Amino acid sequence: MEIMNTIFLNNSLRSWLIAAGVAVITYIGLLILRRFILRYLRTLALRTVNTLDDLIADLIEDIRKFLLLILALYAGSVVLAIPANIVRFIDIALIGSILLQTGFWGNRIISFLIVNFVQKRGGNADDKKSIPTILQFVSRMFLWSVIFLLTLDNLGIDITTLLAGLGIGGIAVALALQNVLGDLFASLSILLDKPFEVGDSILVDDYQGTVEQIGIKTTRLRSISGEQSIFSNTDLLQSRIRNYKRMSERRIVFHIGVVYQTPLEKLKNIPALIREIITSQDKTRFDRVHFKEYGDSSLMFEIVYYILSPDYNLYMDIQERINLKIYERFEQERVDFAYPTRTIIIQGKQNE
């Protein structure tokens, strides 16, 4: 078997065959080991309620074949006499593959952490779609930036100068994109602090509508009249927002004026009459009614009550019934509603 001693690239053919055998056996062995561990973890995950074993199983499943192949080639290269420059290349390839695999694992872990965070935090279905999108974008951008810099360092590139340049460039970019970055961080603040969610009815200054989408830069409202209003997230956080969906009940204040000619006894009976009307309505809680002030052309009463629901249509239905009942009772009691009037007194000049 003289041919086995033939030298090829500083190694005998026997050494090359042994290296190839080691590489093949290592590769197949790693594939079998990965499959065995994955099957065991999947079986274990079905019998447990926690999600940690599911994450570990996903990480094992996410081991890429290129990493196993490079590990096998590295194991085979150990039995060979390889020049230093080739060894350096193999080391770079191995470390680069590990860094790339770390990036894929990081993606899995980020998704796992964000999904669990959103589930524990609660919120509606649309909110659960918006939060992962924004958080994953920011987290993965940071992750792959670190992986990229480590890869450059592995290649022998001095990243100190690069980091300094990126720092200066980053400041310039940040100044140029400060509005975009401001909206990005504002969207994170909205999704984490939850001043409103998708589906909430809110009032922003003079604009009222239902939140349709919370994006990375803008939030979109569907107004009551049908058009879509778009606000930058930064502007929203700087505005005073009223969230009507989070009302547990609605406080109602309204006024009634009667004429000055109303007799005193009837004037005294008006609070009790209005109280009786309001308390007879379902889903209401009476607060107060008072003879408030002497108006320019009327005696003014202020009425306050609560509707035990945030539903605006229910409020209008109840208020309509109260108004009609007040009109009916005033008509029965012969109490006249006031309307703007003006009395002009003309005083003639007396002759001496």
Asked if residue 37 has pLDDT above 70, the reply is yes
| Single-letter code of the amino acid located at 130 | S
CATH code of domain 183-246: 2.30.30.60
pLDDT, tens only, 188-247? 777 777 888 888 888 888 888 888 888 778 888 888 788 888 888 888 888 888 888 788
Q: Which pTM was predicted?
A: 0.49
pLDDT, tens only, 84-125? 777 788 888 888 888 888 888 888 888 888 777 766 665 555
Higher pLDDT, 331 or 45: 331
Compute the distance between CA of residue 201 and CA of residue 246 in angstroms, rounded to an integer. 9
Asked if residue 48 has pLDDT above 60, the reply is yes
Asked if residue 293 has pLDDT above 90, the reply is yes
For the beta carbon of residue 147, count every other beta carbon within 10 angstroms.
Answer: 17
The residues spanned by each domain of the chain are 2-123+130-155, 183-246, 250-333
Q: Which fold has domain 250-333?
A: Alpha-Beta Plaits (3.30.70)
Asked if residue 127 has pLDDT above 70, the reply is no
pLDDT of the residue at 352: 46
Q: Which of 184, 223, 173, 188 is nearest to 203 (CA)?
A: 223
Taking residues 150-169, report their average pLDDT.
Answer: 68
Compute the distance between CA of residue 16 and CA of residue 4 in angstroms, rounded to an integer. 9
pLDDT range class, residue 252, cuts 50, 70, 90: very high
pLDDT of the residue at 133: 67
